[in-house]
Structure 1
Amino acid sequence: MGARKKISADNRKEALKTQYFAKLTGVPTSPRKMRLVADMVRGMEVFRALGVLKFSSKEASNRMEKLLRSAIANWEQKNDRKAESGELYISQVFVDSATMLKRLRPAPQGRGYRIRKRSNHVTLFVDTMENKNTNA
């Protein structure tokens, strides 16, 4: 690795130390379905978002709830204290497509229809409300 790339990689690592996030990779639901759930909670206070996810009827909301709990735990572990109500909010949520399993389904007259079993990666960032107010 060249010196310039190493410096930028080190800067990226330092920036990640001040951010609190959780990643979920290879989720076997389509990215479109997961984005619907991500859009429901984006920008919300975390405990309110947990309530919304808990009572949502979508299957992807269970995985998103578990990921949010993990992000809160990461914040608590880095700051050595418990998160209080109204303190944290979801700053960013990314849903990216992952590998696609490609299958063939037999169709009439000797043809085959393609089936694409999609999966996704979800990254969820949490931040404090104080940082939200200073950034605005």
Structure 2
Amino acid sequence: MEAVAKLRNYPTSPRKMRLLADLIRGMQVEKALAVLEHNPKHPAVPMRKLVLSAISNWKQKNEGGEVGQLFVKTVFVDGARTLKRMRPAPQGRGYRVRKRSNHVTVIVDAKS
């Protein structure tokens, strides 16, 4: 029985978050948490909290299940809203700055 956790509108570009998602995809949950805890990238903190949330959701669904059997079945990162801002540029012009954000979905499951 799989469990899902979602992180919505996190203000980091999807490309940066996908680097972390690729790291933990298919890993056992304990190993994925250890990798995220020692990763220097700033989106590692919310990604770790998201994996912990997915574990907690799985525990709610499966009362007698063992957490040691869990692995990260699926992780995907989608683009979310983009805030458009203007930055001053030479000769009275303005450059557009796109502040991107993303949605992350983590699915954990027990090995059968």
- Do they superpose with TM above 0.5? yes
- Report the Cα distance in structure 1 between the residues aligned to 2:53 and 2:35, rounded to whole angstroms: 17
- Residue of structure 2 aligned with 1:113, choices 74, 81, 95: 95
**Aligned residue pairs: how many?**
112
Residue 71 of structure 1 corresponds to 54
Percent identity reads 56
CA distance in 2, matches of 1:90, 1:103: 36
Which protein is richer in helix relative to its size? 1
Q: Is the 8 A contact 1:72 1:83 kept in 2?
A: no
Of 16, 20, 29, 2:3 maps to: 20
Q: Could you tell me whether the CA contact under 8 Å between 1:22 and 1:67 is conserved in 2?
A: yes
One-letter code aligned to 1:81: G
1:46, CA displacement in angstroms? 0.4
Structure 2, gaps ≥5 residues long: none
Structure 1: any 5+ residue segments left out of the alignment? 1-17, 131-136
> Which structure dedicates a bigger proportion of its chain to strand?
2
- Aligned: 1:99 with 2:81: yes
> What amino acid maps onto 1:24 in structure 2?
L
Query: Shift of the alpha carbon at 1:81?
Result: 3.4
Q: What is the CA RMSD across the aligned residues, in angstroms?
A: 1.1
1:61 is aligned to 44
- Secondary structure of 1:58 counterpart: coil
Give the TM-score, by structure 1 length: 0.79
Q: Which residue of 2 aligns with 1:43?
A: 26
* 4+ runs deviating over 6 angstroms: none
1:125 maps to what in 2? 107
Higher relative contact order (CA 8 A, sep 6+): 2
- After TM superposition, give the deviation of residue 58 of structure 1 in Å: 0.6
**Aligned partners of 1:24 and 1:123 also within 8 Å:** yes
